[in-house]
């Protein structure tokens, strides 16, 4: 049977062989993800993590050891993709290391997004708050919006005060997924200090309506009504005002 290292090396071959190798990894990950396969899953994840940031060592003409990544960004992306299905706490560190590579980090973030462990959440929080590049940070913020926990809400609130409007907007929209009434003034404040265009104003109004709905679904009816009333009286599009008014009329 081929080793994971051998399969990963085949990913560097011609297009046909690389496709076949990618399918092998996907099939192995799917099989290891089945119930009762915990040992196989952990072993596969460990081997994939080992290959993700594997290096080759050579010596220069002075005998000094030189290290270089063994695989191309495309191959490392395929390895990260497979890790998304089987990785756990132990595999977060190598994926976090891969986040440092601009050509691999999007797939590493994608993999972390699909891992439910606390370490993956922490890695996404760090990426959302400190990574370079607005688009990448927005991706991490969106991933946090699908998670849970007070540490996630706290991180999103910090991002809601960021200097970049796209970061603030993404954070506000992500906060709307959590039944936390204290997020309402944070979301409402996003454009007050640094006004945005009509599209940004609409996005914030919709986020506030989403927060109100989230609160209502969580049984926080009074808090939800407070948000709906705030939107109804805010300087927003008539459509959002009507939506808030309709809910208030229906539920009183």
At 137-163, the pLDDT tens digits run 999 999 999 999 999 999 999 999 999
DSSP state of 90: G
pLDDT at 193: 66
Q: What is the pLDDT of residues 52-109, one digit of tens each?
A: 999 887 777 777 778 888 999 999 999 999 999 999 999 999 999 999 999 999 999 9
Tell me the percentage of the chain whose pLDDT exceeds 90: 62
Domain boundaries, the chain: 1-57+66-115, 126-252
Q: Which position has the token pair 């005060």? A: 161
Residue 29: alpha-carbon gap to chain centroid:
21
* pLDDT value at 135 more than 90: yes
Two tokens at 37? 């396969």
pTM: 0.88
Contact (Cβ atoms closer than 8 angstroms) between residue 160 and residue 141:
no
Listing DSSP states for 142-198 in one string gives HHHTTS-SHHHHHHHHHHTT-SSHHHHHHHHHHHTTS--TTHHHHHHHTTTSS---H
pLDDT at 209: 92
CA atoms of 95 and 93, how far apart (whole Å) = 5
Length of the chain equals 252
Q: How far is the C-alpha of 171 from the C-alpha of 128, rounded, in Å? A: 9
**pLDDT for the residue 211:** 95
246 HSE (CA, 13 A, CB side): 8
The Cα 130–Cα 161 span in angstroms is 13
pLDDT of residue 14: 82
Judging by DSSP bridges, how do beta strands 55-59 and 65-69 pair with one another?
A: antiparallel
pLDDT the model gives residue 194: 63
Model pLDDT, residue 230: 85
- Cα 175 → chain centroid: 14
pLDDT tens-place string over residues 8-65: 999 887 888 889 998 999 999 888 888 888 999 999 999 999 999 998 877 777 777 7
- Answer yes or no: is pLDDT of 236 > 80: no
- Is residue 240 very low, low, confident or very high in pLDDT (cuts 50, 70, 90)? confident
- More reliable by pLDDT, 159 or 191: 159
CA gap 191, 11 in Å, rounded: 47
Helix (H) or strand (E) holding 66: strand 65-69
What region, left, alpha or beta, does residue 135 occupy, with left being phi > 0 and alpha being psi -120 to 50 degrees? alpha
Q: What is the pLDDT of residue 237?
A: 73
Specify the pLDDT at position 155: 97
The first and second tokens of residue 77, run together, are 């992306």
Contact assessment for residue 47 and residue 5, using Cβ atoms and an 8 Å cutoff? yes
Cβ-count burial 114-126 (b if 16+ within 10 Å, e if not): ebeeebbbbbbbe
Task: Read off the pLDDT of each residue in 198-203 and give the average, rounded to a whole number.
Answer: 86
């Amino acid at each position: 049977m081929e080793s994971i290292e051998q399969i990963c090396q085949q990913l560097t071959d011609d297009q046909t062989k690389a496709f076949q190798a990618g399918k092998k990894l996907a099939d192995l990950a799917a099989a290891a993800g089945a119930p009762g396969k915990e040992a196989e899953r952990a072993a596969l994840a460990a081997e994939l993590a080992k290959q993700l940031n594997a290096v080759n060592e050579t010596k220069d003409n002075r005998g000094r050891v030189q290290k270089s990544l063994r695989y191309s960004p495309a191959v490392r992306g395929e390895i990260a993709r497979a890790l998304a299905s089987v990785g756990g706490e132990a595999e977060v560190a190598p994926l976090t290391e891969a986040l440092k590579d601009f050509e691999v980090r999007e797939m590493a973030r994608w993999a972390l997004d699909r891992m439910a462990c606390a370490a993956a959440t922490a890695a996404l929080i760090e990426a959302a708050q400190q990574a370079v590049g607005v688009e990448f940070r927005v991706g991490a913020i969106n991933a946090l919006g699908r998670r849970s926990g007070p540490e996630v809400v706290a991180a999103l609130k910090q991002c809601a005060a960021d200097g970049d409007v796209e970061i603030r907007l993404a954070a506000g929209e992500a906060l709307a997924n959590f039944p936390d009434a204290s997020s309402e003034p944070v979301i409402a404040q996003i454009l007050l200090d640094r006004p945005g265009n009509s599209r940004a104003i609409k996005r914030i109004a919709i986020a506030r309506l989403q927060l109100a709905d989230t609160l209502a679904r969580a049984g926080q009816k009074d808090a939800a009504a407070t948000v709906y009333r705030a939107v109804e009286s805010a300087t927003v599009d008539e459509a959002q005002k009507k939506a808030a008014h309709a809910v208030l009329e229906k539920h009183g």
